[in-house]
Amino acid sequence: MARYNHQSLEQKWQKIWDENETFKTTEDTSKPKFYALVEFPYPSGEGLHVGHPRPYTALDVVARKRRMEGYNVLFPMGWDAFGLPAENYAIKTKIHPAVVTERNVARFKEQMRSLGFSFDWSREVNTTDPNYFKWTQWIFIKLFEQGLAYKKEMPINWCPSCKIGLANEEVVDGSCERCGHGVETRVKNQWMLKITEYAERLIEDLDEVDYIERVKIQQRNWIGRSEGADVSFAIKDTAESLTVFTTRPDTLFGATYMVISPEHPILEKLQDRIANLEVIKAYQAEARKKTEFERAELNHEKTGVRIEGLAALNPVNSEEITIWVSDYVLMSYGTGAIMAVPGHDERDWEFAKTFDLPIIEVVAGGDVTQEAYTQTETGTMVNSGFLNGLDVDSAKKKITAWLEEKGLGVPKVNYKLRDWVFSRQRYWGEPIPLVHCSDCGWVAIPEEELPLRLPQVENYEPTDTGESPLAKMRDWVETTCPTCGGYAERETDTMPQWAGSSWYFLRYTDPHNDQALASRENLDYWMAVDWYNGGMEHTTLHLLYSRFWHKFLYDIGVVPGTEPYKKRTSHGMILGENNEKMSKSRGNVVNPDDVVKEYGADTLRMYEMFIGDFEKSVPWSTDGVRGCKRFLDRVWKLKDTVKAGSAYSEALEAKMHQTIKKVSHDYESLKFNTAIAALMTLFNEVNQLGTINEAEMKTFLILLNPVAPHITEELWQVLGFEGMLHEQSWPSYDEEKTIAQTIAIGVQVNGKVRGDITVNLNDSQEAAREKAMANDNIQRAIAGKTIVKEIYVPGRIYNIVVK
């Protein structure tokens, strides 16, 4: 009896799959297609850690199952290889990032191969490959041509450690998402993408896709849609007016003052009329000094200055109200000005209390002298002229119509989502394919000149002034304007890492196409992605960005549908054995290579699927790995007990059908742990019986194959079964046969289990009762009591209610 030698056996099958191109995908339209996608990694210098294989194995299981179900499956892998680590390494070692990247990719690929994933490696993509980023640049040019890419001088989030600007999405709790350093505000000239123009569709189309709910919620949250009205307040004795956005136009009669942001342009415009200009300027300077970090702190004590010399007129009653400047009003949201309704807004209430401003109650129901009353469900309008007596909803409608009629306001929808800061002042990214000409302005380079490659530089060091290392490459920078032929300079900022990943799933459908990012035929056949699994951390970054790009590509007729992914799921993190996040500094990193070597790829895969709820974080356990190895060892030994038989034996028939059903369903619903548990249960039963026949063994091997593809394929061969395992059909089950004919059920007395009986499924209640009553324990429990009621749920429970 040969031992289970995982090392030789796994290598053997990986070689066979490789040589036979077993998992190579073609556009075979005779079969239904299934596009399974996992997020492609950044090939870091550290190599894979055991967290990576979790989602890969999960979708590999689904992909392998789908193939056996007759689908044409696309399950690709690639490299999101632009990014800071390779560049920082280049700064230190002077080795070109491309060289480092290549090395890292080779390592990652070897590690992935050793895990036996059924990726179609012929479709591998790499975002740093000029043949790839040519199309990233092409998409950027299209965005630019459609007016969706623009350069703007504006305050952005600046990470002084990474020395790059960050998109809003990359700032977490006031710190850089990548390195954790505190983020500062810097005014910079930046390329921006108008994702805000797609805000409404990005929310609305979530209804069409099958994403886990928390992803949808987070995206909606992030986009932050709110409905209200823009209302115009005239500034007394001037031709100017201040427009505010409010979600509570119903409270207009309670607006007792206005507040504008320190950056509001009216301050500049009307500075001649402002009596306390010096004080205002000092306040502005103070506000500017506040870093993001200071703002993130919950120090919400209200500060502000009254603008002397200006007053506004409330449009509903022409009452004169004061105007204030305060940093609690943000220039970047709404109009940068608000009407303050201290009676019904907590921030305004605090501000009013701080500066002793009038508070008027306009919605009855609370006590506005104590706190702002923000309830909108109940409450009636008071002190509000023609709105008096209405509920909040009706009042909103009435006032909005009134404002519109008078030309004082319009209904408005606002979003928290900001445009996407798209410039990075770094070397290792896609060059932005634009030149600046003093006559023609910003001009896209002609399509024939794509890809625009990175020049060789000597120093990768970014500058503190925020200029890209490319700026020093004068040979590269200086060029001619494609429009007028005059002198022009190239843009020296590069694209952020999120660029290449915003469309990579399209490239997989046709990765070698040099005429288009992918052929329309292939896009029509493969898109949309049927199942995309990835990390929650990408919900408001990659996932949102790529949905935006995809919608844009749809609008310009490049892709067939509006949404790139039909289904999105997410995996939990794998923590170190000490329950902390795995990291080098914590010294708790488990290297998959070691696990593969000692226990095998099948064991690693199986353990990662068995470890716990797929969607939750879970600590690694070496003992748990051993348990899975033990199981596979036992499965291996099973081969010596297999007996002839072309149909399930009577003893196992129901169990076989139950297991097929359970495993088939569980693989589809991310419940890999319970699928494996069901296989273990079946195995234990077989072990008890001491025998298994060929029909049962075949089914067992097929069900286990997606999780442990090597050992099952080997056993299939060793047992002399026909063909190769991966060519078999997924087993089917008969619902009727999943139901065991005889079953033990509990007998309860007053809801407490007092014993159990074995019943036949089609036993009548009479028959079941006879058995229940014959049970000594039941006899004792009901002795001397009166039976009030009996409930019999066939196959479940027999409950006797006594008094």
Partner RNA sequence: GCCGGGGUGGCGGAAUGGUAGACGCUACGGACUUAAAAUCCGUUGGGCUAACGCCCGUGAGGGUUCGAGUCCCUCCCCCGGCACCA
Instruction: Candidates 516, 651, 680, 719: give the one binding RNA (CB under 7 A).
Output: 680
- Name which of residues 576 to 635 contact RNA (CB under 7 A): 610-613, 616-619, 621, 623-624, 626-628, 630-631, 633-634
* Of 103-111, 219-227, 448-456, 721-729: span binding RNA (CB under 7 A): 219-227
What are the distances in angstroms from CA 32 to CA 26, 69, 108, 526? Answer: 12, 10, 31, 10
Instruction: Candidates 302, 396, 698, 769: give the one binding RNA (CB under 7 A).
Output: 302
Instruction: Candidates 141, 756, 772, 782: give the one binding RNA (CB under 7 A).
Output: 756
Residues 6+ apart with CB under 8 A from 402: 386
Three-state secondary structure call for residue 402: helix
Nearer to RNA (CB atom), residue 248 or residue 424: 248
414 scored as a contact of RNA (CB under 7 A): yes
- 534's enclosing H/E stretch is none
Three-state secondary structure call for residue 328: coil
Give the distance from CA 711 to its chain's centroid: 34
413 scored as a contact of RNA (CB under 7 A): no
Beta carbons of 82 and 40 less than 8 angstroms apart: no
Distance between the two ends of the chain, CA-based, in angstroms? 64
Q: What is the DSSP string of 351-398?
A: HHHHHT------EETB-TTTS-----SS-EE-S-GGGTT-BHHHHHHH
What are the distances in angstroms from CA 137 to CA 101, 448, 787? Answer: 20, 12, 81
Instruction: Candidates 31, 152, 288, 300: give the one binding RNA (CB under 7 A).
Output: 300
For the CB of residue 297, give the shortest distance to RNA in the complex, in Å.
9
665 scored as a contact of RNA (CB under 7 A): no
Burial 707-746 (b: 16+ CB within 10 A, else e): bbbbbbbbbbeeeebeeebbebebbebeeebbeeeebebe
Nearer to RNA (CB atom), residue 454 or residue 676: 676
* Of 66-74, 192-200, 522-530, 679-687: span binding RNA (CB under 7 A): 679-687
Q: What is the DSSP string of 124-183?
A: -EETTSHHHHHHHHHHHHHHHHTT-EEEEEEEEEEETTTTEEE-GGGEETTEETTT-PBP
> Which amino acid makes up residue 628?
C
* Of 39-47, 52-60, 751-759, 765-773: span binding RNA (CB under 7 A): 751-759
777 scored as a contact of RNA (CB under 7 A): yes
How deeply is 168 buried, as exposed, middle or buried, from its count of CB atoms within 10 A (0-12, 13-18, 19+)? middle
Binding-residue pattern over the window 709 to 738 for RNA, x denoting contact by CB under 7 A: ------------------------------
For the CB of residue 722, give the shortest distance to RNA in the complex, in Å.
29
Three-state secondary structure call for residue 189: strand
Nearer to RNA (CB atom), residue 167 or residue 553: 167
Q: Are strands 175-176 and 125-126 parallel, antiparallel or unpaired?
A: unpaired
Q: Are strands 787-793 and 257-260 parallel, antiparallel or unpaired?
A: unpaired
For the CB of residue 745, give the shortest distance to RNA in the complex, in Å.
5
Instruction: Candidates 114, 284, 423, 748: give the one binding RNA (CB under 7 A).
Output: 748
- Name which of residues 538 to 577 contact RNA (CB under 7 A): 540
Nearer to RNA (CB atom), residue 437 or residue 757: 757
- Name which of residues 222 to 261 contact RNA (CB under 7 A): 222, 224, 226, 228, 244-248, 261
Binding-residue pattern over the window 309 to 348 for RNA, x denoting contact by CB under 7 A: ------------------xxxxxxxxxx-x------x-x-
* Of 76-84, 297-305, 311-319, 718-726: span binding RNA (CB under 7 A): 297-305
Instruction: Candidates 520, 751, 770, 785: give the one binding RNA (CB under 7 A).
Output: 751
Nearest residue to 548 (alpha-carbon basis) of 200, 238, 786, 98: 200
Nearer to RNA (CB atom), residue 544 or residue 702: 544
Other CB atoms closer than 10 Å to residue 356's CB: what's the count? 7
Can you tell me the distance from the alpha carbon of 692 to that of 688, in angstroms, rounded to the nearest whole number? 10
* Of 154-162, 209-217, 266-274, 305-313: span binding RNA (CB under 7 A): 209-217
For the CB of residue 723, give the shortest distance to RNA in the complex, in Å.
30
Binding-residue pattern over the window 442 to 481 for RNA, x denoting contact by CB under 7 A: ----------------------------------------
- 337's enclosing H/E stretch is strand 337-340
Q: Determine the size of the site formed for RNA (CB under 7 A).
A: 88
For the CB of residue 238, give the shortest distance to RNA in the complex, in Å.
22
Which residue has tokens 């209430």?
Answer: 349
Nearer to RNA (CB atom), residue 455 or residue 619: 619
Residues 6+ apart with CB under 8 A from 622: 577
- Name which of residues 156 to 175 contact RNA (CB under 7 A): 172
Nearer to RNA (CB atom), residue 482 or residue 612: 612
535 scored as a contact of RNA (CB under 7 A): no
- Name which of residues 262 to 281 contact RNA (CB under 7 A): none
What are the distances in angstroms from CA 625 to CA 204, 441, 525, 629? Answer: 44, 61, 40, 6
Binding-residue pattern over the window 480 to 519 for RNA, x denoting contact by CB under 7 A: ----------------------------------------
Beta carbons of 754 and 778 less than 8 angstroms apart: yes
For the CB of residue 217, give the shortest distance to RNA in the complex, in Å.
5
Nearer to RNA (CB atom), residue 252 or residue 454: 252
Can you tell me the distance from the alpha carbon of 251 to that of 380, in angstroms, rounded to the nearest whole number? 11
For the CB of residue 78, give the shortest distance to RNA in the complex, in Å.
26
Give the distance from CA 107 to its chain's centroid: 27
Nearer to RNA (CB atom), residue 732 or residue 777: 777
Which residue has tokens 């059908």?
Answer: 657
Structure tokens at 73: 């499956």
Nearest residue to 431 (alpha-carbon basis) of 150, 138, 209: 138
196 scored as a contact of RNA (CB under 7 A): no
Nearer to RNA (CB atom), residue 535 or residue 645: 535
218 scored as a contact of RNA (CB under 7 A): yes
Beta carbons of 459 and 466 less than 8 angstroms apart: no
Phi, psi at residue 264, to the nearest 5°?
-65, 130
Nearer to RNA (CB atom), residue 647 or residue 787: 787
Give the distance from CA 30 to its chain's centroid: 33
For the CB of residue 565, give the shortest distance to RNA in the complex, in Å.
19
Nearer to RNA (CB atom), residue 297 or residue 770: 297
Which of the 8 DSSP states describes residue 583? Answer: -
* Of 78-86, 123-131, 652-660, 668-676: span binding RNA (CB under 7 A): 668-676
Instruction: Candidates 752, 760, 770, 787: give the one binding RNA (CB under 7 A).
Output: 752
Nearest residue to 196 (alpha-carbon basis) of 414, 360, 504, 371: 414
For the CB of residue 461, give the shortest distance to RNA in the complex, in Å.
31
* Of 132-140, 151-159, 295-303, 648-656: span binding RNA (CB under 7 A): 295-303
For the CB of residue 682, give the shortest distance to RNA in the complex, in Å.
9
- Name which of residues 76 to 105 contact RNA (CB under 7 A): none
